[in-house]
Structure 1
């Protein structure tokens, strides 16, 4: 089971990482189109800071969620605790990904058409 799940997860995380970086580049281009100034460093710094905040929050949340499931050294193998840990490790991330996906679908302003328009505007500016 693990030999089939891990490679699939690694591929999924790799695709997610690539899409994130592609979206950041599109945002940088959009900022340049609107402000006539390229601010790569600022965008990457804000993205990096947001990731660090998310990772710190997730670390703290893990301990809280483990305590909510009733996890202690004595109850580590109880069926209810094991099921709770399974839910924390699968259902909560799945719900988070669905909410994140919906927020991108409804609130992310850069469609494929808009990105292509931005590329054309920047191409014209650079070529005169």
Structure 2
């Protein structure tokens, strides 16, 4: 299955979002997904299987529990595919960062008192 087919499903995307904060139990994931999407526990298990089988999630046993985590392998495939498209948004983002920095600098300079605005006896010579 192609990475975008895996990520095309909103349930699987939500599971990955939940896992970005760290490991979660299968039961914890199931509770959230069932509440948000109204699907059964077996359906959630199938989504977890798709994520595991396609390199987006890992699972490890911890006693009677199964802990899921993000597996970066699947995300690397997405990142690689997106590499050719970054040229469309990277320069505008750099330009935006430059303009934000320029605006911060101008606000900072406006907030500083101007030495020439003070009476001559208040001016300090360096």
Larger proportion of strand: 2
Structure (1 or 2) with the larger CA radius of gyration = 2
Q: TM-score, normalised on structure 2?
A: 0.28
Which of 1 and 2 has higher RCO (CA within 8 Å, sep 6+)?
1
